[in-house]
Amino acid sequence: MKTDFLIIGSGIAGLSLGLRLSEFGKVIIITKKKKAESNTNYAQGGIASVLDKEDNFDLHIKDTIECGAGLCNIKAVETIVKEGPSSIYELLALGVKFTKDEHGNLKLGREGGHSKNRIVHARDLTGKEIERVLLHKVSKNPKITVLEYHFAIELLTIRNIKPEYRKYFKDKHICYGAYTLNAKTGKVEKIIAGKTILATGGLGQVYLHTTNPAIATGDGFALGYRAGCELANMEFVQFHPTSLYQKDVDEETQVFLISEAVRGAGAILKDKKGKEFMHKYDKRKSLAPRDIVARAIDCELKKTGENFVYLDATVIGAERIKKEFPNIYQQCLNRGIDITKSMIPVVPAAHYSCGGLKVNIEGKTNIKNLYACGEVAMTGVHGANRLASNSLLEAVVFSKKIFESIKQEHSKNNKKNNKLNLDKIEKCIFNWSDKGTVNAEEWILIKHNKLEIKEIMSDYVGIVRSTYRLKRALRRIKMMKDEIKEFYDRTKVNVPLLELRNLVTVAYIIIKSAMKRKESRGLHYMLDYPERDDKNFKKDTIIYKRIKI
Ligand SMILES: Cc1cc2nc3c(=O)[nH]c(=O)nc-3n(C[C@H](O)[C@H](O)[C@H](O)COP(=O)(O)OP(=O)(O)OC[C@H]3O[C@@H](n4cnc5c(N)ncnc54)[C@H](O)[C@@H]3O)c2cc1C
């Protein structure tokens, strides 16, 4: 297959970019499962944007930077904040039905760390509503093809060019598309693309308790790493403080999130005896930013030996709960908890990756013709901690930045006529070969390895870390990485194996990044370096693989 634009991922970032890029050529969007299955589809709270007359850009910028604990890229923050309102109007124009008040104005919610009401939402199913509309628009666009159950295995770079042709390729760091596994047929196809965009979402599944769906195995981070991309700030994994406590978890569990908006509406954290405890940790109490609340809960649990704390939403009132949080109300009811009457047992769970493939303000990675947007990208917006509801906003704004950059290039190229010749490139790239590999029967190994990685990451690289714990984790993950590589090299590719390989790679990158940051900052808390070190601190921790050709 050949295409002008190959987008990997069908969440908010990939779909909104696809719609825009179709103006300039053929777009293929590949997605590893059914097209709606994404982190986007589960987003509850909403999108942050300055729309209230009491609010202004400076306040949203200040809140974002304060939350980011000294690591935000100011330009990137200003970009998302200032382009927030127009992005919301664009989504409305596409048909997204955001919740409105009785006067027909957008209803703006409040979440932790925000000094004003600015969360645009569609009841408590914001992501699902956005995904619905974007998928509908994409399905009506004749220039966009969506391929479900197509798993990106590897990006095509100079290493995939047949040696006899390499001398014709002057630029060594350039991307030509991807090898993809068609999970339905088991065949590996190569998709040659003028531009490739990683929009593969997050990595929550590298931890045992996560709000992320099973697809969030960090594939894009691993794909980029193997191709030679720079990854930045991967130590900053956000744990959402309030996921519904679930006793048994397996290697693919997604725990149910109790949105921050519930605390925004007045719900209060309490210990098992029903006593409030957040005042001991922060003056904003239950509405403190996520890192503080998650650490406070972690500390309470360690002190008391309990498995969960409570979130008391009864104070919000039954009528308002049912009206504003119908999904959370119903999901809890399905599990036997009537949240209008009883407190909700909650624990922190891995939720969001602030780090990712380092991109500039145009969404470009350090590899030519390879872009990244959405959760897989590190634009500098979130710094050491993401402010609630800034990620959907970042995804739409930065996918627009990629579009604008490509638009500019497009008009220059049209004049010079120096577009890549995809037919020629296609001939120069190896077809996928699985010679010498076998269909392995060792599925139990994959399942156990997955669980082992998640346990190691949760035990040693979670909310509270130390040099000792990180070293212990690294030794184990390195050993597993070698074993998995050896298994991969002799096995015909399949989705569970590819995900396992990506999970272990991402675990390795997170640990390496965490070891580089010898201080506590934002989401990265080290017992042996408990203070923020503003004198010797690293701006960004960068990890990359040196590529030998
Ligand atoms: C429960 C929950 C609630 C949230 N609530 C909010 C909120 O209220 N506000 C907010 O701003 N953010 C929220 N977030 C975060 C936000 O939803 C995500 O950061 C955002 O949706 C990411 O969008 P994306 O397009 O980058 O990735 P995703 O929406 O995750 O899409 C990734 C896509 O890539 C595909 N993919 C991945 N790997 C491969 C591969 N190897 N080959 C092919 N396809 C692949 C997946 O199948 C999927 O289609 C929430 C997240 C969760 C999990």
We report the CATH number of the domain holding residue 487 as: 1.20.58.100
Q: Is 126 part of a structural domain of the chain? A: no
pLDDT for position 74:
97
| DSSP three-state, residue 524 | strand
Interval 308-328: pLDDT, tens: 999 999 999 999 999 999 999
Last residue of a domain, one of 321, 348, 375: 348
Please choose, from the candidates 357, 279, 345, the residue with its C-alpha nearest in 3D space to the C-alpha of residue 307. 345
Instruction: Confirm or reject: Cβ of 217 under 6 Å from ligand 1.
Output: no
Task: State the closest ligand 1 atom to the C-alpha of 210, by its place in the atom list counted from 1.
Answer: 53
Q: How far apart are CA 121 and CA 127, in angstroms?
A: 9
Instruction: Confirm or reject: Cβ of 8 under 6 Å from ligand 1.
Output: yes
Report CA torsion sign: 487, 488, 494, 499. Answer: positive
As given in the structure block, the two tokens for residue 231 are 């990854």
pLDDT for position 248:
86
Assign 182 a pLDDT band (cuts: 50, 70, 90): very high
Instruction: Confirm or reject: Cβ of 16 under 6 Å from ligand 1.
Output: no
Q: Is 338 part of a structural domain of the chain? A: yes
Last residue of a domain, one of 348, 370, 392: 348
Q: How far apart are CA 512 and CA 49, in angstroms?
A: 35
Nearest protein Cα to ligand 1, atom 21: 40
- Residue 378 pLDDT > 90: yes
Q: Is 308 part of a structural domain of the chain? A: yes
Quote the ligand 1 centre to 41 CA distance (angstroms): 7
Q: How far apart are CA 230 and CA 251, in angstroms?
A: 29
pLDDT average, residue stretch 129-146: 98
- Residue 510 pLDDT > 70: yes
Angle at which helices 443-460 and 467-489 cross, to 10°:
160
DSSP state of 545: P
Kindly report the average pLDDT of the chain as a whole number: 94
pLDDT average, residue stretch 218-242: 97
The more confident residue out of 223 and 249 is: 223
pLDDT average, residue stretch 380-409: 96
pLDDT for position 416:
60
Domain of 339, CATH number, reads: 3.90.700.10
Assign 418 a pLDDT band (cuts: 50, 70, 90): low
Least confident of 210-224, 327-341, 439-453: 439-453
Least confident of 414-423, 453-462, 483-492: 414-423
Greatest Cα pair distance in the chain: 72
Cβ-Cβ contacts under 8 Å for 119 (sequence gap 6 or more): 45, 46, 47, 48, 108, 109, 110, 111, 261, 264, 388, 389
Please choose, from the candidates 33, 373, 18, 30, the residue with its C-alpha nearest in 3D space to the C-alpha of residue 177. 30
Q: How far apart are CA 359 and CA 194, in angstroms?
A: 18
Quote the ligand 1 centre to 399 CA distance (angstroms): 14
pLDDT average, residue stretch 137-156: 98
* Strand partners of residue 465: 526
Residues 31, 51 contacting (CB under 8 angstroms): no
Instruction: Confirm or reject: Cβ of 310 under 6 Å from ligand 1.
Output: no
Task: State the closest ligand 1 atom to the C-alpha of 14, by its place in the atom list counted from 1.
Answer: 25
Instruction: Confirm or reject: Cβ of 395 under 6 Å from ligand 1.
Output: yes
- Residue 415 pLDDT > 70: no
Last residue of a domain, one of 319, 348, 377: 348
Question: Domain range for residue 334?
Answer: 244-348
Please choose, from the candidates 356, 303, 386, the residue with its C-alpha nearest in 3D space to the C-alpha of residue 63. 386
Nearest protein Cα to ligand 1, atom 14: 43
Residues 216, 530 contacting (CB under 8 angstroms): no
Q: Is 70 part of a structural domain of the chain? A: no
DSSP state of 536: T
pLDDT for position 439:
84
Q: How many residues does the chain have?
A: 549
Interval 27-41: pLDDT, tens: 999 999 999 999 999
Task: State the closest ligand 1 atom to the C-alpha of 373, by its place in the atom list counted from 1.
Answer: 26
Which amino acid is it at 206?
Answer: V
Asked about 290 being catalytic, the answer comes back as: yes
Q: How far apart are CA 38 and CA 42, in angstroms?
A: 7
Quote the ligand 1 centre to 199 CA distance (angstroms): 9
- Mutation to probe ligand 1, out of 205, 253, 392, 399 (largest number of atoms < 8 A from CB): 392
Assign 549 a pLDDT band (cuts: 50, 70, 90): confident
Q: Is 466 part of a structural domain of the chain? A: yes
pLDDT for position 384:
96
- Residue 441 pLDDT > 90: no
Task: State the closest ligand 1 atom to the C-alpha of 390, by its place in the atom list counted from 1.
Answer: 11
Assign 440 a pLDDT band (cuts: 50, 70, 90): confident
Assign 537 a pLDDT band (cuts: 50, 70, 90): confident
> To which residue do tokens 């619905």 refer?
132
Q: How far apart are CA 389 and CA 375, in angstroms?
A: 12
Task: State the closest ligand 1 atom to the C-alpha of 131, by its place in the atom list counted from 1.
Answer: 29
Residues 459, 147 contacting (CB under 8 angstroms): no
pLDDT for position 411:
81
| DSSP three-state, residue 377 | strand
Residues 58, 134 contacting (CB under 8 angstroms): no
pLDDT average, residue stretch 435-453: 87
Q: Is 57 part of a structural domain of the chain? A: no
- Residue 436 pLDDT > 60: yes
Q: Is 279 part of a structural domain of the chain? A: yes
Instruction: Confirm or reject: Cβ of 221 under 6 Å from ligand 1.
Output: no
Number of domains in the chain: 2
pLDDT for position 417:
56
Q: Are strands 177-182 and 542-543 parallel, antiparallel or unpaired?
A: unpaired
Q: Is 65 part of a structural domain of the chain? A: no
Quote the ligand 1 centre to 210 CA distance (angstroms): 13
Choosing from 123, 226, 263, 290, the catalytic residue is 290
The more confident residue out of 304 and 145 is: 145
As given in the structure block, the two tokens for residue 13 are 């970032």
Please choose, from the candidates 407, 149, 128, the residue with its C-alpha nearest in 3D space to the C-alpha of residue 136. 128
pLDDT average, residue stretch 465-476: 97
Interval 89-126: pLDDT, tens: 999 999 999 999 999 999 999 888 899 999 999 998 99
